[in-house]
Amino acid sequence: DSGVTQTPKHLITATGQRVTLRCSPRSGDLSVYWYQQSLDQGLQFLIQYYNGEERAKGNILERFSAQQFPDLHSELNLSSLELGDSALYFCASSPGGEGRNGYTFGSGTRLTVV
Amino acid sequence: AQKITQTQPGMFVQEKEAVTLDCTYDTSDPSYGLFWYKQPSSGEMIFLIYQGSYDQQNATEGRYSLNFQKARKSANLVISASQLGDSAMYFCAMREDNAGNNRKLIWGLGTSLAVNP
């Protein structure tokens, strides 16, 4: 157990639907990162939050949004889902100042859009 | 632009032998960190080893070592005494330290390693 908890582990949904992925960071970590891993694009950074505030955005679609709550857990909302959104979505956390063991990953949520 | 290149899509190694997985990177930032992660078929991402751009020594973590050649911008992972459980995808990733508030990781496409008994 890495200390980063992602739920659900698997999600199957239809095109056009909306889903929410949840991440609880490792205890004490203030930063949360979301990554998308797909077969054609590899691992892509989506968004970073630090202590409740958005810190950086990557290749995140407008149909996707995220937030980090006061208890530091984070949610990634994916709407108007398309087949191409099928991927493994990772959450990672870090204390803030990244160093040698700076990023701890959750086990991922595998999203399948049918 | 920052980039990570892993030129070996797939590698085979005999059990108990050593294997080197290649990684080259491109950055104009003088301060950066390089990471290797292992992703078994179960999907989780497991941290293996880290090398800072200013570290004088090559990083080692048990059977893992990082052959860091800064001038060549390469950060190859060496796994000694391969085990069957080492069969997995291996990703090289980089973090730039002067990218403002953004501490994202930039990833290579990975190398699939198969350890043969």
Q: Which has the closest alpha carbon to B6: B21, B23, B26?
A: B23
- β-bridge mates for residue B5, sequence order: B24
A26 token code pair: 């490792």
Average confidence (pLDDT) over B33-57? 93
A86 token code pair: 């099928």
Query: How far A12 CA lies from chain B's nearest CA (Å)?
Result: 17
Q: Are B56 and B47 in contact (CB under 8 A)?
A: no
pLDDT tens profile B17-40: 999 999 999 998 888 999 999 999
For the ranges B19-23, B27-31, B72-76, B77-81, which has the lowest average pLDDT? B27-31
pLDDT at B104: 84
Q: In terms of C-beta density within 10 A (0-12 exposed, 13-18 middle, 19 or more buried), how is residue B63 classed?
A: middle
Among A55, A90, A110, beta carbon nearest to B45: A90
Q: Are B21 and B77 in contact (CB under 8 A)?
A: yes
Q: Which has the closest alpha carbon to A67: A45, A48, A91?
A: A48
Give the containing element (helix H, strand E) for A78.
Answer: strand A74-78
Question: Cβ separation of B43 and A108 shorter than 8 Å?
Answer: yes
> How much of chain B exceeds pLDDT 90, in percent?
83
**CA separation for the pair B73, B17 (Å, rounded):** 26
pLDDT at A100: 63
Give the containing element (helix H, strand E) for A103.
Answer: none
Question: Cβ separation of A99 and B50 shorter than 8 Å?
Answer: yes
Q: Chain A contact for B41, CB < 8 A?
A: no
For the cut 80, the answer to whether the pLDDT of residue A20 exceeds it is: yes
Question: Cβ separation of A56 and B102 shorter than 8 Å?
Answer: yes
Q: Are B103 and A99 in contact (CB under 8 A)?
A: no
pLDDT tens profile A23-59: 999 999 999 999 999 988 889 999 999 899 998 888 8
Question: Measured between beta carbons, which residues in chain A are less than 8 angstroms from residue B102?
Answer: 48, 55-56
What is the Rg, in whole angstroms, of the alpha carbon atoms belonging to chain B? 14
β pairing state of B106-107 and A10-13: unpaired
Give which of A23, A43, A59, A110 to mutate to test B binding, by max B Cβ within 10 Å: A43
A74 token code pair: 């984070």
Give the containing element (helix H, strand E) for A83.
Answer: none
pLDDT at A96: 72
